[in-house]
Amino acid sequence: MPDQQGGDSGPAFPYIRRKPATGTAGRHAMQPIAIRLYGDRVMVGIVLVSHSQTLAQGAAELATQIAGGVVPVIPAGGTADGRLGTSAELIAAAIASADKGDGVVLIPDLGSAVLSARALLADLDVTASGSSLVLVDAPFVEGAVAAAAAASGGLDLAAVAAAAEEARDARKL
C-alpha cells in the first residue's frame, strides 16, 4: 500500500501521530499500532484496584458502559470480608477474570493499592502463565474510562496503558 510520501508502507495499518522522527524537518512521522479487527480482536483486560468495593464496582460499571460492554473491566475493591482495604487474593482473581490473552492493565486508586498490586505482581510467575500485566500511574476513574475506550477499539496493551496514563492530562474545565 503506498504511504503518504509515495513509498510502500506494507500492509494497511491504522496510524497514529507520534513525536517527530529525527530528520523529518517538523513533519510528524506515522507509526503503526497493533490492532486487529472483528473476529481476530485484541482484547486487553482492565482491573480496577481500590480500597472500596463500591468505588471499584462503580468505576467498572461506568467504564464498561462507555466501552460498549465488550471490554472485561473487573473491580478488585475492598477486602474479602467487605471492609475498606486491598486484597491480593481479590486482585489475583480479578486478573484471572480480565485476562483474555492480550494482557491486563491494572489501575490502582491510592498508595497502598499500588503497594498491594506491586507485591502481587512480584509474586506472580508471569512467564509461566504467559500473561502480560501492566500497572499504570493513572487517575482512577478517568484512567479506567480512557483505558476501556482504547481497549474497545482493539488497541494493544501498550496503547491501552498509555491511554490510561494520558488521562491525567485531560482537563475538565
Per-residue burial over 135-148, b if 16 or more Cβ lie within 10 Å, else e, is: bbebbbbbbbbbbb
C-alpha 159/C-alpha 123 separation (Å) is: 25
- Domain region containing 160: 38-169
Do 8 and 74 fall within a single domain? no
Residue 130 maps to which CATH number?
3.40.50.510
Do 20 and 69 fall within a single domain? no
Q: Is the pLDDT of residue 3 over 70?
A: no
Do 11 and 79 fall within a single domain? no
Q: Which residue has the higher pLDDT, 140 or 25?
A: 140
pTM surpassing 0.85? no
C-alpha 21/C-alpha 24 separation (Å) is: 6
What average pLDDT does this structure show over 37-66? Answer: 90
Do 65 and 131 fall within a single domain? yes
Tens of pLDDT along 97-142?
A: 999 989 999 999 998 899 999 999 998 866 555 669 999 999 999 9
What average pLDDT does this structure show over 166-173? Answer: 91
67 C-beta neighbours (distance < 10 Å), count:
21
97: amino acid identity, one letter? S
Do 87 and 153 fall within a single domain? yes
For the chain, what percent of residues have pLDDT higher than 70? Answer: 72
Q: What is the pLDDT of residue 161?
A: 97
Number of domains within the chain: 2
Do 27 and 43 fall within a single domain? no
Which of 35-44, 60-69, 112-121, 138-147 is least confident?
35-44
Do 65 and 80 fall within a single domain? yes
Do 156 and 109 fall within a single domain? yes
Do 148 and 114 fall within a single domain? yes
Q: Is the pLDDT of residue 42 over 90?
A: no
Q: What is the pLDDT of residue 14?
A: 36
Q: Catalytic residue positions?
A: 51
Q: What is the pLDDT of residue 59?
A: 98
Do 141 and 60 fall within a single domain? yes
Do 24 and 47 fall within a single domain? no
Q: What is the pLDDT of residue 134?
A: 95
Contacts of residue 79, Cβ cutoff 8 Å, sequence gap at least 6 = 85, 86, 87, 90
Would you give the DSSP letter of residue 51? S
- Cα→Cα distances 87→82, 128, 140, Å: 10, 23, 17
Which of 39-53, 102-116, 156-170 is least confident?
39-53
Half-sphere exposure of 50 (CA within 13 A, CB side): 20
